[in-house]
Amino acid sequence: MSPALLQVRELSVIARAGQRDITLVDRLSFDLGQGEILGLVGESGSGKTLACRGLMRLLPSPNLRLEGQAVRLAGNDLLRLDKAGMRRMRGRELGMIFQNPSSHLDPLMRIGAQIAEGIRLHQGASRREARAEAIEVLRQVGIPDPKTRVDSYPHEFSGGMRQRAMIAVALGCNPKVLIADEPTTALDVTVQAQILRLLLELRDRRGLSMILISHDLGVVAQTCDSIAVMYAGRLCEHGAKQALLSQPRHPYSAGLLACHPATRRHAGLMNTIAGQPPLLDALPAGCRFEPRCPQATPDCRAQLPELRVIAPGHRLACHTPLLAGGLS
């Protein structure tokens, strides 16, 4: 395997609350290859969005800070870069699109101008070149009649078109890695599928690598090459899509799968995982999933399981993994 394009090593996001620290993302490590789409899955509050904000070094509050060994991308360690250096990485190397396209586009600026802004910044293009490029990008993301739409304002677009426009704004900077934070959650189901198809297309055409954050296993299953499952700020399982979907080893992954309507084996009531995720300021000492885990043993309560490689390209953090071969 070629060396990974993006290497994340032990990335933590820590919140300062009064006198003590609360770890919101705990030593996250993963690799992302060229052209790979990684699905980051977990329920809300599991830290997946925060982890990606951490990758961009755009934490939403000054009370949050990053720690970690390294985040290597294009020969740089993002954690060691100064502010200006990090700014040069954003957009050009590492792009990001968001859940709610309506609020993530500047309402007072024409779409074309927002795309051109990134093009001019990162490629040093002239005003005219940037405009031509913006039209081209709009065409690539499948906006009909891009020559006139380039002068539209965000509110003149429909929801799906707005999401395409936001993707175009990110693509204008020509990033190597695109982080997509729940890109389809706010959209209709039919539009969802279109946007996912667009992302796949862009991967094929541009060799774009992506991190796709989603709480929806269906979305991830349609799109990703590999899947990472997060729970309460920690990575609990990471592996190739096929392996993970057909044979989840972590009880939480299995539980998530069982909850999903498409993969549900039995008719009748929808399955749920009993209980609530732990509060991050009152974490159990052992495995964080232990209170809700059907497989839990006293060992799980005593000791936090570390992430181990259990098979080539498959990592797991569990004392009592499910047997390979299906749900026990």
| Contact stretch for another protein (CB under 8 A) within 105-113, 134-142, 209-217, 294-302 | 105-113
- The answer to whether residue 82 forms part of the interface with another protein (CB under 8 A) is no
Minimal distance, residue 227 CB to another protein, in Å:
22
* Neighbour tally for 105: CB within 10 Å: 21
In angstroms, the Cα distances linking 17 to 49, 50, 63, 64, 280 are 20, 16, 8, 9, 12
What lies within 8 Å, CB to CB, of 295 at 6+ separation is 251, 320, 322, 328
Contact yes or no for 248/41 (Cβ under 8 A):
no
Closer of 155 and 308 to another protein (Cβ): 155
The two structure tokens encoding residue 27? 């030593």
Six token digits for residue 125: 């293009």
Q: Of 62 and 75, which CB lies nearer to another protein in the complex structure?
A: 62
Residue 130 touches another protein, criterion: CB under 8 A: no
* Residue 302 beta carbon to another protein: minimum distance, rounded to whole angstroms: 25
10 Å CB burial of residue 316 (0-12, 13-18, 19+) is buried
Which residues are CB-contacts of 298 (< 8 A; sequence separation ≥ 6)?
A: none
**Considering beta carbons, is residue 39 or 101 the nearer one to another protein?**
101
For residue 320, give both structure tokens. 């009592």
Number of residues that bind another protein (CB under 8 A): 46
Contact between 100 and another protein per CB under 8 A: yes
Q: Which of residues 19-78 bind another protein (CB under 8 A)?
A: 22, 24, 44-45, 47, 49-50, 56, 58, 60-61, 64
Footprint on this chain of another protein (rule: CB under 8 A):
15, 17, 22, 24, 44-45, 47, 49-50, 56, 58, 60-61, 64, 87-92, 95-96, 98, 100, 103-109, 117-118, 121-122, 153, 155-156, 166, 169-170, 172-173, 279-281
